[in-house]
Amino acid sequence: MPILVLVPMVMGAAIGLVARYLLPGRQWVGLFLNPTASAAAAGIVWTILGLTGMSSDNGWLWVASLAAALVVALVLPRVLPVRRERADAAYLAELTRASA
């Protein structure tokens, strides 16, 4: 069963890759960040639920793992652009203060 965690991780990476190209704000998210974060979320949820006793033939294990990947794939492109724009504005203000 330990090697079976790769299946939801690959599916999570595919979800993240599709979301990267369908959602706005992809210029702020790198090519590998969204698929990697989605795959990691699917793998972590799969591992945690597997340790609680769920077997790989349990449908809720699959649903929870892929739902976690989907949530990460949807939230990441929404959160990062706002954070990046604030950080860039603060850095620009710091640079203009230093040069003045």
Contact status, residue 59 vs residue 36, Cβ threshold 8 Å: no
Tens-digit pLDDT profile for the chain (100 aa)?
Answer: 578 899 999 999 999 999 888 887 667 777 888 899 999 999 999 999 999 989 888 889 999 999 999 999 999 888 888 888 888 899 999 999 877 6
How many structural domains compose the chain?
1
Q: Residue 30 is part of which domain span?
A: 2-99
Long-range interactions of 53-62: CB distance < 8 A, separation 24+: 55/1, 56/1, 56/4, 62/8
Backbone angles phi and psi of 41, in degrees to 5 = -60, -45
The answer to whether the pTM exceeds 0.85 is no
Q: How far apart (Å, rounded) are the C-alpha atoms in residues 71 and 16? A: 9
The DSSP 8-state label assigned to residue 29 in this structure reads S
Structural tokens at position 24: 């706005």
Q: CA angle 85-86-90, nearest 5°? A: 115
